[in-house]
Structure 1
């Protein structure tokens, strides 16, 4: 099929090789259509964040590369922001999303801070990954994490990574540095590891983790990224990083059930479960918690 042209929000975009398979049984044209349906849920959080995409020019089974710097052939209307030596793409609108989709960008990873508050994260984020197959221990760890957060006067939203893990987001006022939020993250991680030593580890070396779940508090840092909510993952099943209700974390749950083919029906039913993060009415003030931690010499939670 010849290239297709679409007009979105006043921008004309070319979809090249629309019949090329990007996922098994899913063409680039179908991929772009899926992205347009995901846009109302994906865009609210990723706007004004430094974007890293993963591109698969020949589809999910082919070679891939990370795209941080804006390519020289980008349309002039694509917004960008510079950080260090990198000029990042800003995923601000639907035309930009479709343009990226045409480039076979299959994953969208974004920074924890925004260009209008660089260096100040908008959430505490905890990344929970299994060391062995199975999802039960990951769910158990996430529920223990929420219990500990609530004892600290905090609460958040949990989402699947779209792969094998879960991620927890706690909205905070964007006036605390990564160094300050790291104090809270490490405090929580060490507390959980101490309380549940047979379940949770903070060991970075995979070979030393055994069967325990890896509680990654180090990923939350300036210059690093995490998969965006509602971003697809470059897997044959085209899984989606999907926000959840806490009560969904129960035996039998699997993150593989959320794919490009199934996510739209879920969104019609549940709407945007990530709205309290992407468009929060309340952000936690960490001042008192940081003051409490600064007075403690050990990592016991009270």
Structure 2
């Protein structure tokens, strides 16, 4: 079957195939269409990596970086080193990817336009064997620290088990500079809360502490996009939150393809501040960090 979207025809094959336990491909396509006004703005002009599940979440999967050779003309691409990435610029491209059973959308920390610099400072907080309440605690501690530095950020669930904090930046700082700040903050929080937080890369040595991943934020790496589905049996979605929501008993599994539309009607795009509002200059903070290394 074919669907017409923005004057483009997109083929939908095997629409009745189950991609999640109770979501067919056709259901999934419709969910993506409803998410598109919120998912696309952050993905636009970024290098896209998807995770494909041809037989649904219970089957095998693989990462797709290079654009498939069968791409339609409306799919924009951009070459970075040896990889021809898809650019998720429009709804027909999103639906085409949905038909390929792309169940996760991961984006680069920079856009292909202009300098190769990050558009945000991003903190990725992951539990090891720790309860989600501890991840929330670390997120709130992190926010307190960045507020003292004159910054603030937007928090979202990863859709899996963690939280991520985005601080919008003026596009003038290198990845090396943002890593200095992220490492400084991670180390400070770890020293102040040694029983709660770790920056240990080896999982076996983390115990039950929350991992403050300052290394993920780098050129060539990606992170799950806001409003992207995740390949979980519950069909969870990476969902931006109000900070006050962290003071309630929430879980990443609370936000799914089944209820995200209603949430968006109530809350709107909580992530929009990343690209629509004030962006921070880190020059003074970098000088402070440099003086304390």
With normalisation by structure 1, the TM-score equals 0.96
Could you tell me whether the CA contact under 8 Å between 1:159 and 1:242 is conserved in 2?
A: yes
Cα deviation per residue 1:47-102 (whole Å; 9 max; x = unaligned)? 00000000000111000000000111001221011111001000000000000000
Distance 1:118 1:109, change over 3 A: farther
Residue 205 of structure 1 corresponds to which residue in structure 2? Answer: 202
Cα offsets for 1:164-222 (capped at 9, x unmatched): 10000000011111001111000000000001111000001111111110000000000
Q: Is the 8 A contact 1:23 1:238 kept in 2?
A: yes
Instruction: Tell me if 1:219 matches 2:219.
Output: no
1:171, 1:280 within 8 Å by CA — same for their partners in 2? Answer: no
* Equivalent residue in structure 2 for 1:116, among 113, 117, 122: 113
Among 2, 10, 29, the alignment partner of 1:13 is: 10
1:236 aligns with 2:233: yes
Aligned to 1:300: none
How far apart are 1:255 and its partner, in Å? Answer: 1.4
2:30 maps to which residue? 33
Match of 2:249 in 1: 252
Contact (CA 8 Å) 1:136, 1:251: kept in 2 or not? no
Indicate the larger mover: 242-251 or 222-231.
242-251
Q: Which digits, 9 at most, give the CA deviation of each residue in 1:143-164, with x for residues without a partner?
A: 0000000111110000000011
Q: How many Å separate the matches in 2 of 1:280 and 1:185?
A: 23
Residue of structure 2 equivalent to 1:180: 177
Pairwise CA RMSD of aligned residues? 0.8
C-alpha distance in structure 1 between counterparts of 2:120 and 2:17, whole Å: 38
Aligned-partner Cα distance in 1 for 2:238–2:268: 15
Residue 50 of structure 1 corresponds to which residue in structure 2? 47
Q: SS at 1:249's partner residue?
A: helix
- Structure 2 spans left out of the alignment, 5+ residues: none
**Aligned equivalents of 2:240, 2:248: Cα separation in 1:** 17
| Aligned positions of 1:79-228 closer than 5 A | 79-228=76-225
> SS where residue 270 of structure 2 aligns?
coil
Contact 1:19 1:27 in 2 (8 A): yes
Contact kept in structure 1, 2:50 and 2:104, CA below 8 Å: yes
* Matches of 2:184 and 2:79, distance apart in 1: 33
Displacement, 1:118? Answer: 4.4
Q: Please name the residue that 1:282 is paired with.
A: 278
Distance of 1:221 and 1:120 partners within structure 2: 9
Q: Name the SS for the 2:9 alignment partner.
A: strand
CA contact (8 A) 1:110 1:228 kept: yes
1:291 corresponds, among 284, 287, 290, to 287
| Shift of residue 253, structure 1, vs aligned partner | 1.3
C-alpha contact (below 8 Å) 2:130/2:209 kept by paired residues: no
Query: Normalising to structure 2: TM-score of the pair?
Result: 0.99
Secondary structure of the residue aligned to 2:10 is strand
Do the aligned partners of 1:159 and 1:244 also contact (CA within 8 Å) in 2? yes
Query: Which residue in the other structure is 2:61 paired with?
Result: 64
